[in-house]
Chains A and B, each alone.
Chain A
Amino acid sequence: MAEKVNMMNLSTQSNPTQSLHDEAHELRKEILEVLYQTGGGHYGGCLSVIDLLLTLYRTQIKCNPTFATHPDRDRLILSKGHAALALYAVLKKLNFHQVPLDQYADFDSPLEGHPDMTALAGIDFSTGSLGQGLSAALGMAYSLPKQVNIWTILGDGECQEGQVWEAAMLAGNMKTSNLKAVVDNNRFQEWGWAEIDDQIPPPVSNFRDKWQAFGWHVIECDGHNFDELIQAFQTMVEIQDKPVVLIANTIKGKGVPLIEKSPKQFHCNQVDQDEHTRIMQEYRS
Chain B
Amino acid sequence: MKKLAEEVGLQLTNIADKYPDISVLDGDLADSDGAFYFADAYPERFLMSGISEQNMISMAAGMASTGKRPFAFSFAAFLCYRAYDQIRVSICQTKMPVTLVGSHAGGLAGRNGKTHTAVNDMAVMLTLPDMQVWAPADNDDVTYMLSQIMSYSEPAYIRASRAPIGEQHALGGRPSELRWVFPKRKINIVSCGIASQWSKQVIEQLHLQGCDIGLLHCLHVNQVEQLQDELADSEQLIVIEDHCKLGGLASLIQMLDIKAHISGFGWPISFCGKSGDDEQLREAYGLSQEQLVKAIIKLHFTNIKSASSKIVEQV
Interface residue tally of chain A, by bracket? 20 to 34
Q: Hey, which chain A residues are within 8 Å of B90, CB to CB?
A: 125-126, 132, 135-136
Mask: chain B, 42-84; 1 = CB below 8 Å from A; 0 = not: 0010010110101111111111111110100000000000000
Contacts across chains A and B counted by CB atoms under 8 Å: 98
Contact of B50 among A116, A132, A140, A169 (CB under 8 A): A169
B85 within 8 Å of A (CB atoms): yes
A137 within 8 Å of B (CB atoms): yes
Given the known inter-chain contacts A118-B94, A166-B50, A166-B54, please indicate yes or no for A135 contacting B66, CB distance below 8 A.
Answer: no
A138 within 8 Å of B (CB atoms): yes
Given the known inter-chain contacts A118-B95, A129-B85, please indicate yes or no for A139 contacting B63, CB distance below 8 A.
Answer: yes
Given the known inter-chain contacts A118-B94, A125-B94, A143-B68, please indicate yes or no for A138 contacting B54, CB distance below 8 A.
Answer: no
Tell me, rounded to whole Å, the shortest Cβ–Cβ distance linking A154 to chain B.
13
Main secondary structure, interface of B, reads helix
Tell me, rounded to whole Å, the shortest Cβ–Cβ distance linking B264 to chain A.
34
Q: Which of A111-135 contact B (CB under 8 A)?
A: 116-118, 124-129, 131-133, 135
Docked-complex contact A140 and B85, CB < 8 angstroms: no
A54 within 8 Å of B (CB atoms): no
Docked-complex contact A169 and B52, CB < 8 angstroms: yes
Tell me, rounded to whole Å, the shortest Cβ–Cβ distance linking B177 to chain A.
26
B89 within 8 Å of A (CB atoms): yes
B302 within 8 Å of A (CB atoms): no
A135 to B94, CA, bound (A): 15
A139 to B57, CA, bound (A): 9
Docked-complex contact B89 and A126, CB < 8 angstroms: yes
Docked-complex contact B86 and A170, CB < 8 angstroms: no
Docked-complex contact A136 and B47, CB < 8 angstroms: no
B93 within 8 Å of A (CB atoms): yes
Q: Hey, which chain B residues are within 8 Å of A129, CB to CB?
A: 85, 88-89
Q: Hey, which chain B residues are within 8 Å of A257, CB to CB?
A: none
Contact of B94 among A117, A143, A163 (CB under 8 A): A117
Contact of A143 among B44, B54, B62, B95 (CB under 8 A): B62
Q: Hey, which chain A residues are within 8 Å of B44, CB to CB?
A: 1
Q: Hey, which chain B residues are within 8 Å of A167, CB to CB?
A: 52, 55, 58-59
Docked-complex contact B89 and A125, CB < 8 angstroms: no
Contact of B66 among A71, A116, A128, A162 (CB under 8 A): A71
Docked-complex contact A138 and B62, CB < 8 angstroms: yes
Docked-complex contact A125 and B52, CB < 8 angstroms: no
Q: Hey, which chain A residues are within 8 Å of B70, CB to CB?
A: 139
A142 within 8 Å of B (CB atoms): yes
Q: Ordered nearest first, which 6 A-B pairs have the shortest CB separation?
A: A139-B62, A135-B58, A136-B62, A166-B55, A166-B52, A139-B59
Q: Spell out B's residues near A (CB within 8 Å).
A: 23, 44, 47, 49-50, 52, 54-68, 70, 85-86, 88-90, 93-95
Given A133-B58, A139-B58, A143-B23, output 4 extra A-B contacts at Cβ < 8 Å: A140-B65, A141-B62, A163-B86, A167-B59
